[in-house]
Amino acid sequence: MTRFSEFTDLCIQIEKISGSLEMTDVFAEFLKIVDEDELPVSCYMIMGEVFPAWTGKKLGLGPNLLYSALSKAAGIPPDKIKILLRETGDIGETTYRALSEDKKSQSTFSSFLAAEDEKSGTFEIAGKLSISDVYGRLKEIADVSGKGAQDRKVKGLQFLFSESSPLEAKYISRIALEELRIGIGEGIVRDSIAKAFDVPVAQVEFAFMVTNDLGEVAAAAKRGGADALSRQNIQVSRPVKMMLAQVTNSIEAAFSELDEAAVEWKFDGARLQIHKSGEEIELFTRRLENVTNSLPDVVKAVSAAVTAENAVLDGEAVAIDENGNPRPFQDILRRFRRKYDVETMSRDIPIHVNLFDLLYADGVSYIEKPLTERRQKLSEIIKQDAEGISVDELKITKDPEAAAEIYREALAAGHEGIMIKNPMSPYSPGKRGKNWLKKKPVMDTLDLVVIGGEWGSGKRKNKIGSYVLSCFDNIKNVYLEIGRVGTGLSDDLLDALTEQFTDLIEAENGVTLKIKPEIVFEIAFEEIQKSPNYPAGYALRFPRLVRVRDDKTIEEIDTIEKIERMYQGQKE
Q: Which residues are catalytically annotated?
A: 266
Through-space distance between the first and last CA atoms of the chain, rounded to whole angstroms: 58
Task: Read off φ and ψ for residue 315, nearest 5 degrees.
Answer: -165, -170
What would you report as the CA-atom Rg of the chain, rounded to the nearest whole angstrom? 25
Q: Is the dihedral of CA 314, 319, 325, 329 positive or negative?
A: negative
The rounded Cα 170 to chain-centroid distance in angstroms is 24
Task: Read off φ and ψ for residue 51, nearest 5 degrees.
Answer: -125, 150
**Strand pairing report for 445-455 and 464-473:** antiparallel
- Give the Cα separation of 235 and 43 in Å (integer): 21
Q: Which DSSP symbol is given to 349?
A: S
Where do the H-state alpha helices sit in 38-90? Answer: 39-46, 63-74, 78-88
The rounded Cα 299 to chain-centroid distance in angstroms is 24
Closest CA to 317 of 356, 372, 348, 288: 356
CA-CA-CA-CA torsion for 218, 284, 288, 173, nearest 10 degrees?
-100
What value, to the nearest 5°, has the Cα angle with vertex 103 and ends 101 and 108?
140
Query: How many CB atoms lie under 10 A from the CB of residue 155?
Result: 17
Contact 273/284 with Cβ under 8 angstroms?
yes
**What is the per-residue DSSP string for 100-150?**
HH-GGGGHHHHHHHHHHHHTTT-S-STT--BHHHHHHHHHHHHH--STTHH
Angle separating helix axes 131-143 and 149-163, nearest 10 degrees: 170
Task: Read off φ and ψ for residue 85, nearest 5 degrees.
Answer: -65, -40
- Give the Cα separation of 469 and 247 in Å (integer): 21
Closest CA to 240 of 207, 281, 278: 207
Contact 169/66 with Cβ under 8 angstroms?
no
What value, to the nearest 5°, has the Cα angle with vertex 191 and ends 189 and 196?
90
Beta bridge partners of 311: 276, 361
Helices (H) and strands (E) in the chain, counts: 21, 20
- Give the Cα separation of 415 and 403 in Å (integer): 15
184-to-27, 175, 475, 496 alpha-carbon distances in Å:
9, 13, 10, 34
Residues in the chain: 572
